[in-house]
Chains A and B, each alone.
Chain A
Amino acid sequence: MSKRALLVDDSPYIVKELARILANHGYEVAGTASNGLEAIKKYREDKPDFVIMDLVMPQMGGLQTLLLLKKIDPDCTVIMTSSLSGKDKIVECAKAGASHYILKPFEEDKVIEVLAKVVGS
């Protein structure tokens, strides 16, 4: 059975791009959200196997959402994405419980490598 993802990003282009990459490699998209508030709601409704989530979003950002998701489900698998390449951000996400961090712009091979490592194929 395919692993199902919740995609969280305020950029519709990024959501489409991630959906395309996932579909090319046998993953399913369980749902999408454009901010943290929506992500929490969709996580409860769609029950994905993992989440791919942007760090900088309006209304509620990725870090705050990650902390909330970990309270709701300590075992949830969340992969953070961002264009922010500073080591401080990566460490901050890891401390908050992120399973991995993918830097934008995406390279399809890199995304799949991370998914295989974190989620399995």
Chain B
Amino acid sequence: MKAEHVNAFLVPAISVLKKMAKLEAKIGKMSKVEQPAPPSAERYLSIIIGLKGDLSGSVILSASDHVAKAIAGAIVKAPPESVSEQDLNDIMAELANTVVGNATGALYDIGVKAGITPPTVVLGNSVCFRFDAGMDILLIPILMEIGEMTMTVSLTRM
């Protein structure tokens, strides 16, 4: 997994949260894994954005229900508890779409043409994502005062 490809996702992860939700965020300690660890039993919301073109793989943005509601509430300037489940899914899907979409611009600037798929929303307790053996997988914690989100970047090994 090339550092320049990963870097393309880091800046939008922070800048989009700032622009959309007025939230300050920073990148935590990243870790390359064979497969993500089994998740917590807590209910999680995950948004999957597929990558295609010169880069093949996916980006998954995951947050606990509690953190996702806080982010969504910040985006629409409403109390987190007032955000309906449908609105929560829509808003977080758009957040993920915007982060990954913006990353394709940074990729284009380094000569990598990548497109994205519409978002897929997954929610539930103990949801486990498994990736093909030929993928490089990187877990990127995104740290905020309201809690943590994880960006899982999986790219086909080149």
Chain A positions near chain B (C-beta within 8 angstroms): 10-14, 56-58, 82-89, 103-105, 107
Q: Which residues of B contact A (CB under 8 A)?
A: 16, 19-20, 76, 86-87, 90-91, 93-94, 97-102, 104-109, 113, 115-118
With a cutoff of 8 Å between Cβ atoms, the chain B residues found around residue A13 in the complex are: 76, 87, 90-91, 94
Bound CA span A64–B117, Å: 15
Q: How far is the CA of A107 from the CA of B100 in the complex (A)?
A: 18
Decide: A12 and B90 in contact? CB cutoff 8 A. yes
- Number of A-B contacts defined by CB within 8 Å: 63
Interchain nearest-CB distance for B8 vs A (Å): 11
Q: Taking chain B's interface residues, is the majority helix, strand, or loop, or is none over half, making it mixed? A: helix
**A105 engages B87 (CB within 8 Å):** no
CB distance from B57 to the nearest CB of A (A): 17
The residue in chain B whose Cβ has the minimal distance to the Cβ of A15 is: B90
CA distance A56 to B107 in the complex (A): 18
Point out the residues of chain A lying under 8 angstroms from B99, CB to CB.
83
Q: Which residue of A lies closest to B106 (CB)?
A: A85
Give 5 nearest A-B pairs by CB, closest first.
Answer: A83-B101, A85-B105, A86-B108, A83-B98, A13-B90
B97 near A56 with CB under 8 A, answer yes
Q: Flag if B101 contacts A104 (CB, 8 Å).
A: yes
Instruction: List, sorted by A's number, 9 A–B pairs whose CB atoms are closer than 8 Å.
Output: A12-B90, A13-B91, A85-B102, A85-B104, A87-B108, A88-B108, A88-B113, A105-B16, A105-B20
